Amino acid sequence: ENDITRPKGYTVSWHSNPEIEKHHFGHAHPMKPWRLTLAKGLIMAYGMHAAMDTYVSRPATKEELEDFHSEEYLDYLKSALVTVPDDNEIKDFNLGNTDCPIFEGLFNYCSMYSGASIDAARKLCNGESDIAINWSGGLHHAKKAEASGFCYVNDIVLAIVQLLRKHPRVLYIDIDVHHGDGVEEAFWSTDRVLTLSIHKYDGMNFFPGTGDLDRTGPDSEENPGAHHAINVPLSDGIGDQQYVWLFKTIVGMCVQRFQPTAIVLQCGADSLAGDRLGRFNVQVQGHGACVTYCKSLGIPLLLVGGGGYTPRNVARAWAHETSIAIGCDGKLNPTIPQHTPYRSHFRHETIFPTLEEILGDPRGNKNTDKKIREIVSSITEQLRFVNN
């Protein structure tokens, strides 16, 4: 029996387009847009779509994409063919390599996931949504004129640019296992966006190789962006207890000092246990607790996806987080219909798949409580320089 109803007193919007899910990065590439089909299958099997305003997103326009990206880069992205690009083009735009291949419909894919994030941001700006969701977005590595780490267009930057039209201060939070370098770089010199990324850091041994604790913004105190980049470098195997404590402590301090009027939360699911590329031991519960905490602040909230390379875990996490957004807080009580075409991906699990513990190779926790406390002290000092 399914008793999901529309949350009272606030509105959640879900922005997606089935076209996005049909794109393929190529054989064996870890980024699989069909994970979105799995997530949508769970969200709809639980009946959660009935509790949200649902929008089929449209592709971002050239003008919208140019709010961040260079015209030359966008022109090349649009014309790029599934052929071997010449050396200059690889050099200029980092396109057409194993991480960022040129595949069929690439520009369509990029403009669609970006259109969804822009639409979501606009709903927050005009007050039609309190929480807006785009699980196909969150591509945090893309630069002004460069693809990077499976990301070609930075939908997060484009969405924040929209939010800045109405909102004086935006807090960006990134729980993907990778450093949110593209978003950090885009807002490096402004005090209107505070960027916070929690990630695995091991110098050049883990992509993208940046995001150490001392990377806090421009060196010059004259630059308004000074102190407005926060980085939380972690080691392998962190679990829910440490992760959620760190998240609440640091985000709590950021909100108190910076007083954001909008929050963007990148929910990269590669920070989950058992991820193909990740190194952490965070469970769906712990990952979701970060969403619960952001929602509890009562500030307009944009939720985007990001990484996530074990598709069934990605789907569980984002379905669970959708349930948190609409106020069921994971306490859904439906039974996944036996006939869902997605069952094979969830193997022996029958009901409540979103709440089950992720079984993966156990990863030893290399994060000591002492190190975690040192990170918090350092960020506490940094935030003394942040005033709204």
Which active-site residues does the annotation give?
179
Contact with Zn ion (CB under 5 A): which of 23, 122, 141, 178?
178
Binding residue (CB under 5 A) for Ca ion from 169, 199, 227, 312: 199
270 binds Zn ion (CB under 5 A): yes
- Would you count residue 275 as binding Ca ion (CB under 5 A)? no
Q: Least distance from C-beta 108 to ligand ZLM, angstroms?
A: 18
Distance CA 310, CA 278 (A): 10
Residue in the structure block whose two tokens are 């954001």: 260
Sequence-ordered list of residues with C-beta below 8 angstroms from that of 161, at least 6 positions apart, any chain: 67, 68
Q: Which is nearer to Ca ion, 12 or 246 (CB)?
A: 246
d(CA 331, CA 323): 8
Q: For residue 14, list its beta bridge partners.
A: 54, 133
Q: Is 331 helix (H, G, I), strand (E, B) or coil?
A: coil
Interaction between residue 21 and ligand ZLM (CB under 6 A): no
Residue by residue, DSSP assigns 222-275 as TSTTTT-EEEEEE-TT-BHHHHHHHHHHHHHHHHHHH--SEEEEE--GGGBTT-
Q: Which stretch binds ligand ZLM (CB under 6 A): 55-63, 144-152, 219-227, 235-243?
A: 144-152
Strands (E), 100-190: 131-134, 170-174
Judged by beta carbon, residue 141 or residue 345, the one nearer ligand ZLM is 141
Q: Does 28 bind ligand ZLM (CB under 6 A)?
A: yes
Task: Answer with the entry of ligand ZLM, Ca ion, Zn ion, none that 174 interacts with (C-beta below 5 to 8 A by kind).
Answer: Ca ion
Q: Rounding to the nearest 10 degrees, give the CA dihedral for residues 342, 347, 349, 354.
A: -50
Taking the least distance from each CB to ligand ZLM, the nearer of 46 and 135 is 135
Angstrom distance (rounded) from CA 332 to CA 240: 21
Asked whether the beta carbons of 176 and 307 are under 8 A apart, the reply is yes
Q: Supply the minimum distance, in Å, between the C-beta of residue 200 and Zn ion.
A: 9
Burial of 217 (0-12, 13-18, 19+ CB in 10 A): buried
Choose the contact partner of 149 out of Zn ion, Ca ion, ligand ZLM, none; CB within 5 to 8 A by kind.
ligand ZLM
- By beta-carbon distance, which residue lies closest to ligand ZLM? 307
Rounded CA separation 152/140 (Å): 9
Q: Is 197 in the site for Ca ion (CB under 5 A)?
A: yes
**Nearest approach, Cβ of residue 98 and ligand ZLM (Å):** 4
| Residue 181 in the binding site for Zn ion (CB under 5 A) | no
Q: How far is the CB of 271 from ligand ZLM (least distance, A)?
A: 9
Site string for Zn ion, 118-157 (x = CB under 5 A): ----------------------------------------
Contact between 279 and Ca ion by CB under 5 A: the answer reads no
Binding to ligand ZLM by residue 41, rule CB under 6 A? no
Residue with tokens 């969405």: 159
- Rounded Cα distance between 66 and 62, Å, is 6
CA–CA separation, 251 and 194 (whole Å): 11
For ligand ZLM, the binding residues in 170-229 under the rule CB under 6 A are: 176, 178, 207
Query: Could you say which residues in the range 130-189 bind Ca ion, by CB under 5 A?
Result: 174, 176, 180
Based on its alpha-carbon atoms, the radius of gyration of the chain, rounded to whole angstroms, reads: 20
- For 91, residues 6+ apart whose C-beta sits below 8 A from its C-beta are none
Does residue 270 interact with ligand ZLM by CB under 6 A? Answer: yes
Q: Considering the complex, what minimum distance in angstroms separates the CB of residue 230 from Ca ion? A: 11
Nearest CB to ligand ZLM, comparing residues 99 and 202: 99
199 binds, among Zn ion, Ca ion, ligand ZLM, none (CB under 5 to 8 A by kind): Ca ion
Residues that bind Zn ion (CB under 5 A): 176, 178, 268, 270, 307
Residues that bind ligand ZLM (CB under 6 A): 28-30, 98-99, 139-141, 149-151, 176, 178, 207, 268, 270, 277, 306-307
